[in-house]
Amino acid sequence: MAGERLDKVLAGSLPDYSRNRLKTWVEAGAVMVDGKVTKARYLLRGGESVKVFPQEMPEQFAFSPENIPLDVVYEDDAILVINKPPGLVVHPAAGNWSGTLLNGLLFRYPELQSLPRAGIVHRLDKDTSGLMVVARTAQAQTSLVRQLQDRSVGRRYLAWVWGEAPSQGKVLASVGRDQRDRLKMAAGSPQGKPAATLFRRLAKGSFNDATLALLECRLETGRTHQIRVHLESLGYPLLGDPVYRKKTPGAAKTLPFERQALHAFALSLQHPVSNELVSWFRLPPEDLMSLLPQVDMTESDLPQEAIVLASIHNERTHD
């Protein structure tokens, strides 16, 4: 092995582990050559003692229960409805192997361990808040997935956008991976999937002479970043969006809001067991409610059913 790089020697000697994992161990100081931590590109001279101390990888904790507070709006034996706060990742993935909604669900409902993705059937972006449904049984999960595929699940969002948005409209544009930036999605992508978003304007506002609007958006499909991508393609980027912000006015730099202003306020579906049409509504979290007066809007600009039904729920909860 004299003259060989350390990472190559490790890969040949420990074939049960990926090169990437071995490199991670070297960088973490878990590989020692003659008792010293070194670099992956280190050239062996021959005769050295190489010791490897296997490390647990973050993804090993992806499906571990964690005591994460959950705002459970509704639960029965078949389904859960969660009001997800901004900042909470829904499902473990690279960069977020723990501290997710899935980890919290497994802690509070251990039986979900037996279901694919712990019963999660759809997602919200990390910094998007609002309502999500989770299945508690295999039967319910199958029903919910079919409803999503049939586009019969009603999902309505509140979106605060920059620009002079029209009173209503519909966006029909495929959504797929951006070929120039793999971390983004793009509207009109040739490799994308069909996507449709309907919207209507609920109110107009302004901030530092820049025009903005509050929109209610309805999803006919559920593509990754769909609302954010579709509205940006029309020239109406969401307030606070760190990724999709073309045509964002200079006033945005002085607005103290640092996540996309998007909240899933309404959810409706056919109950998997009773077949009854059921609906839930939730007002936006405090950060979005505090935003209203800053952009010349009031709570009365929000959909009335969200205000009334959310208030009724709060009264029942306090009782």
Of 150, 183, 215, which residue sits at a domain end?
A: 150
Residue 315 reports pLDDT greater than 50: no
Is residue 183 pLDDT above 60, yes or no?
Answer: yes
Per-residue confidence at 316, pLDDT binned at 50, 70, 90? very low
Decide if pLDDT at 288 tops 50: yes
Q: How confident is the model at residue 312 (pLDDT cuts 50, 70, 90)?
A: low
Tell me: do 69 and 29 sit in the same domain. Answer: no
Would you state the pLDDT for residue 317?
44
Check: CB of residue 212 under 8 Å from CB of residue 295: yes
**Mean pLDDT value of segment 139-166:** 94
From 16, 34, 125, 178, the catalytic residue: 125
Q: What are the pLDDT digits (tens) for 115-143?
A: 989 999 999 999 999 999 999 999 999 99
Q: Does the pLDDT value for residue 295 go beyond 70? A: yes
pLDDT at 228: 96
> Longest C-alpha distance within the chain, in Å?
77
In a domain, 1, yes or no: no
pLDDT bucket at 311, cuts 50 / 70 / 90: low
* 135 and 261, same domain (yes or no): no
Contact 13, 28 (CB under 8 A): no
Task: Write down the pLDDT at residue 319.
Answer: 39
Mind listing the pLDDT tens digit for each residue in 225-274?
Answer: 999 999 999 999 999 999 998 889 988 889 989 899 999 999 999 999 99
Residues 136 and 226 in one domain: no
User: Do 277 and 303 belong to one domain?
Assistant: yes
Of the candidates 80, 238, 103, the one whose C-alpha atom is nearest the C-alpha of residue 159 is 238
**Whether the predicted pLDDT of 33 surpasses 60:** yes
Q: State the Cα angle at 156 between 290 and 306, rounded to 5°.
A: 55
Q: Tell me the one-letter amino acid at 209.
A: D
CATH of the domain at 46: 3.10.290.10
Report the amino acid identity of residue 115. Answer: L
Asked whether residue 170 falls in the same domain as residue 305, the answer is yes
Q: Are residues 174 and 235 in the same domain?
A: yes
134 and 259 housed in the same domain: no
Residue 177, in any domain of the structure = yes
Percent of the chain with pLDDT over 90: 73
Domain match, 44 and 107 both: no
Say if residue 310's pLDDT is above 60. no
**Residue 181 is among the residues annotated as catalytic for this protein:** no
Q: What is the mean pLDDT of the chain?
A: 90
Distance of alpha carbon 120 from alpha carbon 47, whole angstroms: 53
Q: Which residues pair with 32 in a beta bridge?
A: 37, 51
- In the block, which residue shows the tokens 């952009």? 295
Same domain, yes or no, for 215 and 144? no
Residue where one domain finishes, among candidates 128, 150, 172: 150
Whichever domain contains 203, its CATH number is: 3.30.2350.10
The verdict on residue 246 lying in a domain is yes
Same domain for 87 and 175, yes or no, is no
Query: pLDDT tens for residues 43-89?
Result: 999 999 999 998 876 655 668 899 999 999 999 999 999 999 999 99
Residue 242: inside a domain, yes or no? Answer: yes
The parent domain of residue 274 ranges over 151-319
Which residue, of 55, 75, 94, is where some domain finishes? 55
- Give yes or no: residues 161 and 272 share one domain: yes
Instruction: Report the domain count for the chain.
Output: 3
Closest CA to 83 of 75, 92, 91, 93: 75
The residues, any chain, with a CB within 8 Å of residue 296's CB and separated by 6 or more, are: 205, 206, 207
Q: Report if residue 220 sits inside a domain.
A: yes
Cβ(167)–Cβ(204) below 8 Å: no
